Amino acid sequence: MLVVHAFDVLGDPVRRRILELLADGEQTSGAVTEVVRREFGISQPAVSQHLRVLRENGFARVRAEGTRRLYAVDDQGLREVDEWLDRFRRFWSGHLDALATELARGKRERRLKEEQQ
């Protein structure tokens, strides 16, 4: 899969939402459809199409359990995106490290204040 294509797949807000739902754990197609239909107002066949796109592009996998279809995140597509993003991490990793330092400093200062009271 070309990484640019991966971003095309993830560029759709419905597919990103489906991945968010699947990130919480395996979901039935019915459960995914219910949430997506409520939030986006699209039909069940449209949700099924989004699930198919995610599956065919390595972002989701499906397994049958009786008559139910259970979907889960497939990390293949996400790994490819992560590898592509790796070359850009230097632009934000230093800022995130600085933020972590400031958060730790603030937490330490709050703890010291609480101990003094």
pLDDT tens by residue, 67-86: 999 999 999 889 888 888 88
Tracing tokens 């397994």 back to the chain, one arrives at 63
Whether residue 84 is contained in a domain is answered as yes
What is the C-alpha radius of gyration for the chain, rounded to an integer number of angstroms? 20
Whether residue 37 is contained in a domain is answered as yes
Domain count within the chain: 1
Q: pLDDT for 22-61, tens place per residue?
A: 999 999 999 999 999 999 999 999 999 999 999 999 999 9
pLDDT band at 1 (very low <50, low <70, confident <90, very high): very low
**Rounded Cα–Cα distance for residues 87 and 75 (Å):** 19
Q: For residue 83, what are the domain limits?
A: 6-116
Task: Answer whether 85's CB lies under 8 Å from 98's CB.
Answer: no
Task: Choose between 7 and 28: higher pLDDT.
Answer: 28
**Rounded Cα–Cα distance for residues 102 and 29 (Å):** 42
CATH number of the structural domain spanning residue 61: 1.10.10.10
